[in-house]
Amino acid sequence: MIDCLAGVRVLDFTQYLAGPTCTQTLADLGADVVKVEPPAGDAARAWGPPFRGGDAALFRAVNHGKRSVVLDVSEDAGLQAALALAARADVLVESFRPGVMDRLGLGAEALTTRHPALVYASISAYGGRGPLGAEPGFDALLQAHAGIVSVTGPPGHPVRAGVSVVDTGTALWAVIGILGGLRERERTGRGGHLRASLFEAALAYNAYHIAGFLADGAVARPRGNAFPLIAPYGEFPTLDGRIVIAPANDRLFQRLCRVLDLEDEARDERFVTNPARLAARDELDRAVAAATRARTTAELLRELRRAGVPCAPVLDIREVCDDAQTRESGVLVGDRVLPPFTWDGRRPGVAGAVPGLGEHDAGVAEDTRNWRNDGDS
């Protein structure tokens, strides 16, 4: 177990995916996370099927180890309970549209003025700035708006990435900011207001495409599984499946040619350097595909790895769960994918069970009374 945030109290006013992923990560690091839910619960509890234990699998994936309390903060009793929790929280994370928490009496300015040590984190679609600052948004919308969709998928058919990269990326940027805020509080005694937005996180994913456009005006387009800056690099057919090959420099390209018996291509001046290979990518990809199609995936993986050429099989989710590397990594425990890092050989453990809606109402109320006596006034 990694409990570097043991003793840190997090008040979680988030729903859906981005915010809960942020607070889940804090819980995995040992924080005490109290999830404040409306009477109907986090809407993501119903984002299914699939369901397990009455809640959607997506909800379960990002809400382990938290305590759930139901508060109707539009009513005075609920608001006063929320304010009592906030008075002794170290971190508050919210994912409402900008302005909503202010109208409820729980906004950053009010709470950080009253409690200067509070690290207050707001996660929203557009960050509360610009012409769309207060607009709502979900992962697919921000993938589209920030250009990720335009560079994903087969040529001529841009698509959304198959996982919620913007939600999870925003969550991790928020975690980084929160950890920085806690360190700043140690140094100065003051917290502050962190803002993280899905739009800005999506732009960050596109950083090298944006840099490329600003360098020469070239607009990146979808290239399927190919990488636009290296050739050959991408997915190729095998006798019984698909494989991704990534020879990222000239030396590795020569090794690939030896494994695939591509002697002519290894000597061809059109393929000597990476810029040259990019100019002739289509012809080179056809030659590589013809060679890989004649061998099984297992044979190619064995020979390419022996030669030191980076490669990987294309697996579906069932195959990933059954894969030896997945099992040996220790990152998959039960139905949870744990945080993908270790510290001195230790991995954050399973933080705890997924809470039922309002399961911890009584316990959190008792904690609030205790919190009033164990810290600053």
DSSP for 11-32, written as a single string: EEE--TTHHHHHHHHHHHTT-E
Tell which phi-psi region holds residue 193, choosing left (phi > 0), alpha (psi between -120 and 50) or beta.
beta
Asked about 3 being catalytic, the answer comes back as: no
320 close to 337: Cβ distance less than 8 angstroms: no
CA distance 46 to 129: 31
User: Which residues in 317-333 are b (16+ Cβ under 10 Å) and which e?
Assistant: eeeeeeeeeeeeeebee
Beta-bridged to residue 346, according to DSSP, are: 343
DSSP for 51-117, written as a single string: EETTEEHHHHHT-TT-EEEE--TTSHHHHHHHHHHHHT-SEEEE-SPTTHHHHHT--HHHHHHH-TT
Q: Which of 28, 139, 167, 367 is catalytic?
A: 167
CA distance 22 to 119: 14
- By annotation, the residues acting in catalysis are 167
